[in-house]
Amino acid sequence: MFNFVDVIIPIPLKKLFTYGITEAESEFLKPGMRVAVPFGKSKIYTGIVLRIHTNAPTAYEAKDIHQILDETPIVNNKQLTLWQWISSYYMCTMGDVMRAALPSAFILESETIITKNKTIDESILKDDEFLVYEALQHQSSLKIHDISNILDKKNVLPVIKRLIEKEAITVEEEVYEKYKPKLVRYVKLHTNFSSEEGLSKLLDDLSKAPKQRKVVMTLFMISARDKKPVKVSDLSQESAASISIIKALIDKGVLEEYHIQIDRVQYSGDENESTKNLNEYQKTALTEIKESFKNKNITLLHGVTSSGKTEVYVKLIEDAINQGKQVLYLLPEIALTTQLVSRLQNYFGEQVAVFHSKYSLHERVEVWNNVLKNSTKAQIVLGARSSIFLPFNNLGLIIVDEEHEQSFKQFDPAPRYHARDTAVVLANIHKAKILLGSATPSLESYFNAKQNKYGFVEITKRYNDILMPDIELIDIKDKLKKKRMKGHFSDRLIEEMTETLKEGHQIILFQNRRGFSPIVECKTCGNSPQCPNCDVSLTFHQYRNQLRCHYCGYNSAMIQDCLACGSQDIDSKGFGTEQIEEEVKVLFPDYKVARMDLDTTRGKYGYEKIITALEQQEIDILVGTQMITKGLDFRNVKLVGIMNADNMLNFPDFRAHERSFQLMIQVSGRAGRTKERGKVLIQTYNPYHNILQQVSTNNYIEMYNEQMDDRYNFKYPPIYKQIKITLKHKDYNRVDAASIWLGKSLRQVFAEHILGPESPPISRIRNQFHKNILIKIPKNQSLSKTKEAIIKINNSFLSVKDFRSVKIILNVDNY
């Protein structure tokens, strides 16, 4: 009898590959272990074992595996079950899923680049390991086949694996920013003066230096009041003393200066804060959630902004970990802020692990291993969408916070999964409970709750009886007519800003990213510079004085004269965050302005730095894109201005209205989180738009009902399901013909439920022409049968010789 193994290889191949193994290997191997396998003429891949069996493949002769790479599985059965679900639901290969799921350090392949890690004690290296290590002293990097040549053998992966374990080499380590912790200066009284005597003597001595005396008195006052370390900046402010007076006291030895590192990632406290007592609304919600979990695994929590949802989650987490279960707390990437991380770390200390795409390979592997070992160090994982792939084996609870967020969906590359929906399946595999939370639930989740598929719990009041912000709509058409606009600012907005700043409060200005790219246009002939690779206008980046393409990264210097007519009368109109920032600086020259968008938040801590600055009140006015909407809690922000609401409302997408509502409510939620009621000003050309009315009255239900009517009428999700097919090719005629063929074939099966093919608004990206076909799937039509039919049609498509080079992308739930 012969033994075989089905192996998942991290490349987009439809079928799994079967390899031969020996009797002994078949006894040793388990699903989830890595094996090195040959592929094609000379390639070697790391594969994951899926199945061990005795059925020889019929279509080809099975090659033998090269090597077993693990002693025990690195992927468990529950994960493999999830991978199979993702592959079948999202119509992608197991190889696609594997590549997304495993940290790249686990996948060694011919293409992998190997570099020297650090200088280590060479005596721990075996001979073959040493040869590789030595070669890396002379060459900065090696590929796997280079190492094959050096060692003169094929199976080099075990050597590489050992070298990684000995930390001698690194594979494909990404470049990441080393974090320089922010140091804050603090002062305290020198211990010489801590006794009552010492102190009164000091105050006597200082009687001739009233300013210095005042500093010492103020220091006392602050420490007594706040009972925590006193910052130099606070002391200077409250005692109205300059930094140089404080310095004089330090030099004299009266005060002692010290620094505390505000560490953004590591947990440094040693004692856990106990969790907060819930108020009545939170208590009721918690009881209702637990009740709902008795007969439903999924529950939706609809709680207005600042209602204290997080504290409710915390209680549920506490219960789960007390039962020894693992907890996954999913958040959109950008909401994974220090604010939330440290809040949870204060409660749960070292049990909290964070999993984030901006983390280095090493940090991610560490979390992976801790989860795999079911270590208490990662009993609570706080992570972005890819954390659903971690090797949980004992999951009791999943929280999906901000469940309406679009960034839970991965658009490119495959697997094009939605982390919230996948988390529902993951919870099911573990028989765990899952709570979806939002102040503005997605229509699909709210619909599921209404259909009784999900449990449903509400919190309608903000914590501490804080009022919802007062929202005012400003008609900019009218303001323009009456000449009451300065640039993009209405007189009302300027008025409120002036007032807010005078009171010492902070301001957030929101500028929607989409469609607001600042475009350069010739005032004489109207021409605007285009990207040579894509079908879009280039956008103007003032800061770099560059024109850039947001789709392919093409860039050139800003033009001085029109490329079409030579005129020098060039208008860089538009309305990016940069422009708003410039205008604010002119309008409010005495205040500090900062900008938060993709450009200013690059790097691991880019985002954190701005948030810290806002928290520390080093910024008076923050101008930002969608990034500022996410779950942030700023005490001192009183005014939020939405610069222009129309552009997001008019975006060509069936969810534009739903999204606009969510965005505006979320941005508004940043205003007035303390006793003082917050104010929100929304500038618009169309103040009577239903969505704006619903935003200004915070009427989710009305928005829901109205939008759902549209979804019924126009057959959109969540009433119908949707699969989008995108075809790409550099030759327009070929992609055109291919899409017509595919559309026709699909129509034969699905009739009127096929839309297209059509060219998307941006029909050429990176020199590839795009065509889209949309398949609408009624609720009563079997999804799996539909997919089977699509796959069949796709296979005949691929058998047409002319079409073979056309790239096809399937996107299930493409919204």
**Euclidean distance between CA atoms 726 and 774, whole angstroms:** 9
Query: With 0-12 CB in 10 A as exposed, 13-18 as middle and 19+ as buried, what is 466?
Result: middle
Dist CA 424 CA 314 (whole Å)? 20
Output the smallest distance, CB 341 to ligand ADP, in A: 13
Say which entry of Zn ion, ligand ADP, none residue 562 contacts (CB below 5 to 8 A, set by partner kind). Answer: Zn ion
Handedness of CA 120, 122, 125, 130 (dihedral sign): positive
Nearer CB in complex with Zn ion: 299/537:
537
Distance of alpha carbon 788 from alpha carbon 307, whole angstroms: 45
The CA-based angle 607-608-610, given to 5 degrees, is: 70
- Tokens, residue 469: 């912000």
Q: How far is the CB of 628 from ligand ADP (least distance, A)?
A: 14
Residue 527 binding result from Zn ion, ligand ADP, none, given CB thresholds of 5 to 8 Å by partner type: Zn ion
By CB under 6 A, tell whether 309 contacts ligand ADP.
Answer: yes
Q: How far is the CB of 347 from ligand ADP (least distance, A)?
A: 11
CB neighbourhood size of 77 (10 A): 13
306 binds ligand ADP (CB under 6 A): yes
Residue 633 interacts with which of Zn ion, ligand ADP, none, CB < 5 to 8 Å by class: ligand ADP
Verify binding: residue 307, ligand ADP, rule CB under 6 A: yes
Contact (Cβ atoms closer than 8 angstroms) between residue 790 and residue 723:
yes
Instruction: Give whichever of 306 and 739 is closer to ligand ADP, judged by the CB atom.
Output: 306
Determine the 3-state secondary structure of 594 from DSSP. Answer: strand
391, exposed or middle or buried, with CB in 10 Å at 0-12, 13-18, 19+? buried
C-alpha closest to that of 768 among 727, 725, 724: 727
Q: Which H or E run includes 459?
A: strand 455-459
Q: Toward ligand ADP, which CB reaches closer, 505 or 728?
A: 505
How far apart, in whole angstroms, are the C-alpha atoms of residue 533 and residue 564?
A: 18
| Distance separating alpha carbons of residues 311 and 31, to the nearest angstrom | 40
Shortest Cβ 316–ligand ADP spacing (Å): 13
Query: Which residue is nearest to ligand ADP, using beta carbons?
Result: 308
* DSSP symbols for 138-151: HSSEEEHHHHHHHH
Give the x/- contact pattern for ligand ADP in 616-655, rule: CB under 6 A: -----------------x----------------------
Identify which range of 247-255, 273-281, 473-481, 538-546 contacts ligand ADP by CB under 6 A: 273-281
337 binds ligand ADP (CB under 6 A): no
Distance CA 325, CA 319 (A): 9
Rounded CA gap, 299 and 155, in Å? 50
Beta bridge partners of 395: 326
By CB under 6 A, residue 276 contacts ligand ADP: yes
CA gap 675, 353 in Å, rounded: 33
In the bound state with ligand ADP, the residue whose beta carbon lies nearer, of 624 and 631, is 631
Q: According to CB under 6 A, which one of 90, 417, 463, 605 is a site residue for ligand ADP?
A: 463
Distance of CA 357 to the CA centre of its chain: 8
Residues in touch with Zn ion (CB under 5 A): 522, 524-525, 527, 531, 533-534, 549, 551-552, 554, 562, 564-565, 567
Options 135-143, 276-284, 689-697, 730-738: segment touching ligand ADP (CB under 6 A): 276-284
CB of 449 to ligand ADP, least distance (A): 18
Query: Of these partners, ligand ADP, Zn ion, none, which one is at the site of residue 564 (CB under 5 to 8 Å by kind)?
Result: Zn ion
Sole window of 122-130, 307-315, 450-458, 572-580 interacting with ligand ADP (rule: CB under 6 A): 307-315
| Nearer of residues 305 and 601 to ligand ADP, judged by Cβ | 305
Please tell me whether residue 698 binds ligand ADP under the rule CB under 6 A.
no
Q: Which is nearer to ligand ADP, 307 or 326 (CB)?
A: 307
How is residue 679 written in tokens? Answer: 């104010």
Strand, helix or coil at 710? helix
What radius of gyration do the chain's Cα atoms show? Answer: 30
Shortest distance in whole angstroms from residue 458 CB to ligand ADP: 12
Binders of ligand ADP in range 375-394 (CB under 6 A):
none
Tell me the window of 263-271, 303-311, 598-606, 787-795 that interacts with ligand ADP (CB under 6 A). Answer: 303-311
Q: Ramachandran region of residue 253, left (φ > 0), alpha (ψ -120 to 50) or beta?
A: left
Q: Which of 308, 349, 641, 757 binds ligand ADP (CB under 6 A)?
A: 308
Decide whether 170 or 438 has the Cβ nearer to ligand ADP: 438
**Does 404 engage in binding with ligand ADP (CB under 6 A)?**
no
* Spatial contact of 426 and 381, defined as CB atoms under 8 Å apart: no
| Residues binding ligand ADP (CB under 6 A) | 276-279, 282, 303, 305-311, 463, 633
